[in-house]
Chains A and B, each alone.
Chain A
Amino acid sequence: MAATMAAKSGLGTTLVRQGYGATALSTGAVDMSGVAEWLRGIVKNSEMAHRTVDAAVADFLEFMAEANYPYAGSQDESLTLINAMGTVKSTHLAPETAMAGNLESTESAGLLFVGIQGYSDFDAKYLGKSLRFLSECGLVRSRLETASLEIEFPRVAHTANLNSFELAQLLDDGEVVLEMIERIQEKADLHQYTHLALPPILGRDNSGIVLAILQDQTALPCFEVLSLPPSVPGLRLQRALDRAMKRQGVRIIHAGVKGFVESQGCIRSIQAVAKETEYELEPEAVILATGKFIGGGIQRTDRLREPIFDLPVFVDNGYTPDVGMGALLTERFVSEQRIFKAGLKVDERFHPVSPDGQVIYSNLMAAGAVLAGHDYILGPGGSGISVVSGHLCAQVALDQLGSEGACV
């Protein structure tokens, strides 16, 4: 988001990355709950926080639409979407392939869950039971009737160990979608239901077309539930972000950062290496958006560390260089694990700061999960933090380079 926004703002932008990060493993949904409050705590300006969130969401939706993977939703109204665990998730932005499953938009629904033999990441029978239970207990707003069935997926030679990606790729062929619909119709009278709930495999590259065929042929609103990792919608989101970057002219270098040169409080150059190829970049501003543990932005060795610039890592807002891991973890799996709030502390312009609050490099900013103080799982924000902080960092870079010249 930071790179796309920077390039859109007219800055020559290069992204250096090595492999995918957690975005590609995510459900694809973007949570905005608590993001404005979180941002206000950093920028100390309520109006600016709300303005930034509005602008970031608008730009994100525009980028996704241009990348041919449209999202819907807004930061003001929450969506309630079913996930593959058989529970529901409150979120705000989601791909259009998931939107018909928003339980906020319906008073009552008759859901038919369609499972696939040999594909264990989506248990249609369990999901049906679980959602009915949630409805009966009043834990979801809608009154739900559910049913389930399982089909043999067309054209596959195995009925075991099927993975999401191979099924999604097969569905990119419209003929396979039609065959799948035929198999569903053989097993169920679709007139009895209001919605078709499907595994999150509705096409790897052509999800819009897959959804359109499904809805046209069944005459029902169809949706895919939110995914467990590995996640086809997460991969689609990652690839759409890549397309958005390319569309805005971002140069993407697939390499690992191996070193940097600094002087007078500024980063002067970055050395990156990809196999046999070495890159020497001389950026005027650097945005660090390396994620947390999966992305490699924060590493755990004998302590928590930020591996590229060796920036101090905070847990919440406290600098705890010597804290043992035991103090950051609790035995109860579902409890808050403080380690997930570890990251960089930043000033109001998203410059990482030292334990005494001093900006470390005046042309370095940080965005996304590498920031301290928010837990991807428990909130606030999840991917919403990345969308908003990336947007803001690009704006700060533009301001600094345009007027102040952070590092001359």
Chain B
Amino acid sequence: MNDTEQNGLDGFRERYGPDNIVEYAPQESHLLHESEQCINCGLCLAECVVLRNLATNAMYYAGPRSIGTSLSRSTPDFWATSDTIYLCTMCGACEAVCPAKVPIPEIVAMIRAKIPRQERNLVPRAHQGLESNLRETGNIYGQKIEPFPVVQKEPEYVFFVGCVGSYLERESVEHTLQLLARLGVNFTTIDELCCGGPTQVAGVPMVDSLAQHNLTAILSTGTSKVITSCPRCWATLSQHPAYAGKLEVQHVTQFLAGFDWKAMTGRVVTYHDPCELGRYVGEYDTVRAILGQVAPHFVEMPNSREASVCCGAGGGLRGVQTRLSVQIARGRLEEAMRTGAEILVTECYSCLHNFYNARRSTDNIELYNLSEFLNVLTKENAMADYTRRV
């Protein structure tokens, strides 16, 4: 009788765990098969924003091709990939041009999830604290965060702020809340905890109590309709099994597209596609439709839509290599300024925050989330009636 027959799966794990033999979920096996489709052509190297910013930096990064061709191949050696794996912003620019459609961001997430089981001390400090922060404080920063005081008793919508907005970009959030109120939207905020989405980035297990708390808080308001500005919250609340499809979630840009807007600024505006809104889900046109109405002098950056460049905050890079993360944001901000834009709009608190980190006092460009920008404009233009389209 072998170990498996005698002690079942637990016995197998106990015996083979020290050899770094790890089990795969079916989806993970599928990912490994997809990584084997890599033809080693190197086109991804041209699009990798990290690689592009490290040419003049002593730090070595193997790049997405190596993730596809070698680093994803040997399970027992996943720990040896840590130098590269934690520098990936998971922006998906590599996958967008890949002839074989190798899903590099998903492979990176899978490898990150395996590394702690093999060599926990190789997990960057910024990621190591995430799980305990979430368990102890319910947010990624491990800090006490004041909730936003908007409480309606019978709301049609819950506005879910997310950790980055709540902690780092409160002013932008307040603008969004003001806008929704001025548009006559019946909504409330809740005493929320982290959606749990960052666990997938860092490779730590989902903290189920977060989802349970959020589900209870949302559904107890009497609605299952949620609006959020954070692309990762949007993806997590709408797709993660922990939320089990119980919510009807809209990104705030999709919600705002339901209103008729008019031209409100003659200034030159450009838009940065957040990776998790653009390449992750293919949402490019909604924001442009709104900006096309409010800002007739809208200009595109040379790298836009599918070819958009990451802000540098993705994949947890801001916590792992802050200087590199800001350097990447700086490059993107300079691209925006080269278009002649006076205003850079996005709709992601994480992107917005990184652009603030990269902006210099001499830069002649203002930064907004779209919902925040609309609030500023509607105030300036003594907002008339903004009717919501049916």
Could you tell me which A residues sit within 8 Å of B by CB distance?
A: 18-22, 24-25, 155-158, 161-167, 169-170, 204-205, 229-230, 232, 235, 254-256, 274-277, 294-296
Contacts and interface: CB of A to CB of B under 8 A. Distances in A.
A235 B45 CA distance: 11
B283 A277 contact: yes
Contacts of A256: 101
B39 interface: yes
Nearest to B279: A275
Nearest to B281: A276
Interface of B is mostly: loop
A277 B281 contact: yes
Given A230-B42, A254-B96, 6 more contacts: A167-B55, A230-B41, A235-B46, A254-B282, A277-B283, A296-B99
B322 to A, nearest CB: 19
Interface string B279-311: 111110000000000000000001000100000
B57 interface: yes
B43 A18 contact: no
A46 B50 CA distance: 52
Contacts of A156: 55-56
Contacts of A22: 99
Interface string B8-47: 0000000000000000000000000000000101110110
B99 A166 contact: no
Interface string B61-104: 00100000000000000000000000000000001111111000
Contacts of B345: none
Contact of A166 (B52, B60, B280, B306): B52
Interface size class of B (residues with CB under 8 A): 20 to 34
Contacts of B60: 158, 161
Contact of A25 (B43, B54, B281): B43
Contacts of A296: 99
A155, A163, A169: residue with the most chain B Cβ atoms closer than 10 Å: A163
B382 interface: no
Contacts of A254: 96, 282, 306
Contacts of A170: 55-56
A118 B363 CA distance: 37
A180 to B, nearest CB: 14
B52 A169 contact: yes
B276 to A, nearest CB: 11
Contacts of B306: 254
B58 interface: yes
A275 B276 CA distance: 11
A294 B40 CA distance: 11
- Central interface residue in B41, B54, B95, by most chain A CB within 10 Å: B41
B99 A277 contact: no
5 contacts: A20-B99, A156-B55, A157-B55, A158-B60, A170-B56
Contacts of B280: 275-276
A397 to B, nearest CB: 25
Nearest to A154: B56
A230 B46 contact: yes
B56 A157 contact: yes
A204 B46 contact: yes
A163 B282 contact: no
Nearest to A276: B281
Nearest to A273: B282
Contacts of B55: 155-158, 162, 166-167, 169-170
B97 A157 contact: no
A277 B60 CA distance: 36
B99 A294 contact: yes
A275 B57 contact: no
B326 interface: no
